[in-house]
Structures are given as C-alpha cells and as structure tokens.
Structure 1
Amino acid sequence: MEINPSDYKILIVDDVMSNVLLLKVLLTNEKYNIATAGNGTEALAQVAAERPDLILLDVMMPDMDGFEVAQRLKKNLETADIPIIFLTALNSTGDIVKGFQVGANDFISKPFNKEELLIRVRHQISLIEAKRIILAKTEELRKTIMGRDKLYSVIAHDLRSPMGSIKMVLNMLILNLPSETIGDEMYELLTMANQTTEDVFALLDNLLKWTKSQIGKLKVVYQDIDLVEVVEGVIEIFTMVAGLKKIDVKLQAPEELEVNADIDMVKTVVRNLLSNAIKFSNEGSEVLVKVEAIDGMAVVSVQDHGCGIDDESQKKLLHTDTHYSTFGTNNEEGSGLGLLLVQDFVQKNGGDLWFTSKKGEGSIFGFNLPIPKR
C-alpha cells in the first residue's frame, strides 16, 4: 500500500520546546505536514483548527496532562477517531494500562529512538490509509448496490404490468382457441408463448419482491389466515398450467388450519414451490400438495415425481453465493431466484424451508409456519 506522507498532518504536543523541534525536524524530513502545541489547552485548540490525522502527545505537562487531553478528545465525536501515540518517560504497567484506557493507540518511551518513532508513526498512518480505503470502497459499494436495486425495481415494476396484460390475453386465447380450430402447430406455438409469458411474469414478480425485501421496503403484515384456503387458491391458479403438461395436482389437507402470517408472502411461497414442481414434473405425472399440523407447526409440502436434483446441485440450493438454475422437463427456464425468495419469506414469517430430492425420482419441498397458541 503506497502512502504519500504529504497527505497527512501530525500534531506534536510537548511542553519542552527542544522535543517539539526535534520531532518536527524528523517528521518534516519524511514529508509529513506538521502542527505543534506546547500544552494541553493549546493542543485541544489545535486539534479543532488543524484536524490532524495523528497526534504525538506528551503525557507529563503542567496545565493538563496527556491522559486528560486524550479523554477529552475521545469524548468528542468529531475527534474520537484521531489516533494518539503517547510520548512518555512513564513506563510502568499501570501507566501503560491507563494510557490505553483513555484511548492511546501506541506508546513511545522517552528518550525515543529515531527509527522506532518513524516506524510507529508510519504504522499508524498505514492504518489510517487502510481505513480510508475501506470507507471509500464501502461507500462505492453502497452506491453500486443502491443503483442495482433501483434498476432491478424499475425493470420489474415497469415490465410487470404490460407482461401481465400479455399473459391474460394469451390465457384467453389458449382457452378459446383449441387445436382443432387453429391447427396443432399453431396451438403448440401459442402454448409455448403462453408458458414463456407465465415464466417471465413470475420472474418479474419475484425480482420485484426480492429487491423490495433486500432493501427493507417489504414489510411483514401479520394476520390470521386459513392456510388451507390460501393453498387451494394457488392450486386453482395453476390448474391450466398443470393441465398443459397433463399433470394432476392433488391436495391433502384438513378443512382449515389457521396461522398468523403475511398472506401475500405465503401465497408467493406456495406459488413458487408449486410452479417448480410442475416445471420439473414429467407429463402425465402427479404433484401432491400436503397441508398438516405437526408439533405446533403448520407444514406445507409439495411433492413431484419428476427429474429430481443430484447431490452436487443440492449443495448449491438456498445459498445466495452459489447460483443454481436448471431447465424443466419441457425446457422451461429457471432463474434460481424463486427459492431464495421463498426462503427469505418463510424465515420472515418465523418458519423454515426444507427439501429432499433424489435424481430421477423427484423432490419434496416444504416449509412450516408457527400455529398461534389460543
């Protein structure tokens, strides 16, 4: 790390003028900017006026000793971070401990060695430079993240509405234009367009919610909801999508099961799990959705009998630092974002997400939510 000494100002505080002059010569030769003070009161005034990067502070001074000066500087938020090297003939353990207690960063014993002093000063300056770099990079990263999140939010928000309209039109066409009317080839193209639009709309919805969640703009609104009713509603929405792959979605659930959770988040969780199950199921197979109460928790599981996930890929799931996505059985494209959003939403509602999978046999993804005690 390259350091330019002329970028740093050092305040020398000592009531002995010969010590001040000696230190000033040594440090000026190293190209540091120098300010001086002859006592504690003057030192506080110089700190306010000069804003030094480092203070070399004598301990034994008549009007106000170095320990008191340090205490006052550390109590002031504007000067608390300025590092202090004590210059002192006091070298007992008690004096050293007291020095560190009042905020010392280092000690140099009098009479001092020139090389030792310069090394200790350079060490503190290096720490200051490193801190500046870290703060600058942190601010740069913060701005980058803010820009990214704003971009994600704008993209998702502005595209979601028109994509939703296209999705509705395609759904209407699928329902009202059977293959007998428009021909098998055209019907297949229409089906592909409909599926692609469904996937893009789901991705945009996930992206918008994920971005809001990460920047703290998505609040959890707890309310008493019937979990069975919520799951039934999501299954009904996916009936047509499942039908296109001839997949039978079955539900095993009690008449009702009440939880206290954010209904929109729970719908998003169930929607993503069911969408994935259909996406990775083989045509003509079955997806089983279970809702049950186990040990004071409401448990929802979605089981498919599709392609499954190999052991190596399972390790990449549910981790933000390892991106994992794959194609469905009909080459439906995935982003890997859905499960991260599901995990985030489940945890925000006091539950856990889990899964089991075996390559070639299928997967079970589930989550639980606390059942309120009455």
Structure 2
Amino acid sequence: MDFQPDAGLEAFRQDVRQFIAQVPAELKGLQRCVRSTREQIQRWQQLLDAQGWGAPYWATEHGGTGWSVPQILVFDDECSAAGTPTQDGFVQKMLGPVLNAFATPEQKAEHMPAIFRGERLWCQGFSEPGSGSDLASLRTRAERDGDDYIINGQKIWTSYAHDADWIFLLVRTNAEGKKQAGISFLLVDMKTPGVTVRPIRSIDDAHHLNETFFDNVRVPVKNLIGAEGQGWNITKFLLNNEHATTADLPELKRYMRELRQFATALRVGEQALGAQPAFALKLARLDAELQAITMLVQRVARLEQLHDPASHVLGSMLKVRATELQQRITEAQLEALGDYGAIAYPHPHEAAPAQPYPLQALARGIANDMFLRRASTIYGGTSEVQRGIIAKMLFQF
C-alpha cells in the first residue's frame, strides 16, 4: 500500500470540517466512547444522508460515498475531534456489508432505505451463554414451519438491544453433521412476539448490554440472508469487518489527545507532568504504538477492499494490538490523574454532579473509558482466540 501523502486529502479534510461547522451545536462536543443516544444517532444519520454521506464506509455501487481508506480515516478523525454523534456501527460496518454482498434485491429494498434515513437501528445476536469464543457451538434453534422459522433460545451481551428495531441473528437450523454447517443468518424484528430483552449493567455501570430471549418467535423465511446453512461463511465475512471496527482508531487518537493535554495541564511540584522523564517516555512509546496501529488499520482496510485473504490474519493482529493499546492508554490516563482518576464519575449520558470535584473537567468519563476497555480484549473475539487464528493462518501461508 502507498502511504505517500495525498495532495487532495487536505482539501477533503476542509470539506468535512465545513460540513461539521454547519451541524447544530447540540450534536457536537459529545462523548464518543459509548454509543450516542437513539435520537442523536437518528438526527446525525439524517444529516449525513442529506449530504450524500449516509454510508461513508461503503462503495458507490451500494449507495456509499466510495471514499478511499485515507478519506475514511480523515472523516472519522474530524468527527471524533468535533464530538459528533456516533452512527449505528452495527449496520454501517457489520450488517451493511453483509446485506450488500449476500442480500436479495427484495431484502435490500426492505431495509436499505430505512438504514440510510436512520429509521431502523440494529443489534447483533451472536454470543450465547456458553457460546462466546466458541461461536460455532451456539444452540438457539430455528425450526422451519411452512413459510416461517420458529426460534427458541437465548443470546447474551446483545449491545443496545433495548434501543434496536431489528437484530441480525445466528441460529441453528441443522443439528446434524459439522456444527458450523448447521448455522444460518436471520433478520428479526425486535417487536416480534416472544422477544424479551433484559438489561445487564456493565463494569462501567452503564446499560449497553442485554440478555435477549426468543420464545417461539415466528420469523418469515424471507428474512434468511443467503442460503440455509450459509451463516458461518457469512459470519466470517462479517467478523473480519468487526475486527477493524473494534480497533476504534478515532477513540485511540482521542485518548492520546487527552493524555497530551494531561501532560501540560497537570503538574508535579513546579513542573508540568510532561516534563517528568518517566511520563515523557511512556507518552512517546504509546504514541509510537498508535502510529503503527494507524498504518495497520489502513493496510487491513485496503486489503479488505481488494478481497485479499491476507486481510483476515492481519485483521486478527489488528484486533489484538489495538484493543491492548486501548487498555494501556486508558490506564495511563487514570494514573496521570492520580487519586482523582479513580473517582466513579457519572456516565457520559448522565448529568454531572452538582458539586464538581477538582480536575473534573479533565477527569470526567476517564474512569468509565478505562473500565469499558477492560472488556475490549474479550468482545469481538478474545485475544487468546485471535492469537490462535493468527498462528493457524500464518502456518498456512
């Protein structure tokens, strides 16, 4: 991949900044580590769609912008720096590419207009109790009954299921033979009778996780993506996109901006924290790792565009290195703040306390981020599983 500067990239950056400058003030300066509220996501999606940017990560033939990888990174950087709302990442970066590759024209006509207009939010139904890292062992059943499937089972860690309109779901349609061959990929309306969502409070004391139960849920066969039993191959296609998503490069860059701010704003005696040799060395090492991750993100994204199989093993490498870096940078932030870093500040969507703590302007949300990132080496495929994939695939090469 050519990493030489693009002469037209700065002009593109200015176009993005000009667009963001016209965005209403209440949709800027938001905390982006967690997903934005439903209303914010929908308003932001509508603004992007009106600009012709409703699918910034998709090719033009699928209604996307057709942006190059460097342009996508510029767009993400500028949105993160401005604190604009998040999009629905489940559909933009995971389900959307699946629909583009595997859905029928009728299925696209059903879902794509609502996705572009922000009228339909999604969640992911993959993990189950006992079937997380070993996803192929899932037990949620879908039995054919005429023109419907009847679904029974349970999913867990279904992020934002309480806000979602639809769920893309892995189900077992055949219990015989190789376990991967009996898995199918279904789309399910969350308002369907028999679907129950129960909240799980996560380690950062927020509600973004859920248990989701399916009790004789009747789903039309027309909601099957691909062929019956093709779900595992579709999932492998989707999960490679998820690995790049969980790298969360815009958030990594935000963490580093905040850490550099700490270096000048915080003091040790008469000196700025950044003047301390140990902290300066840590900052330099983290920044070097971030630059390496930035290059790897571009490489993986480009190889994915070219449908190069090397993108799969590099995607697993990216997932491991980026999520471990998320943990190290947020730990460094917490350590830099000293005693104030450990205070359980309110969740970003909740009101600030009436009596502010010292350093609250710097510390608000830092502990939430640090706690949330404890799970980043688990969700989307644990680091241990990713290392196994890397070893197996490198042996093949």
Give the shorter-chain TM-score range: under 0.3
Q: Comparing both chains, which one has the higher relative contact order based on Cα–Cα distances under 8 Å and sequence gaps of 6 or more?
A: 2
Larger radius of gyration: 1
Normalising by the residue count of structure 1, what TM-score does the alignment of the two structures yield?
Answer: 0.23
Normalising by the residue count of structure 2, what TM-score does the alignment of the two structures yield?
Answer: 0.22
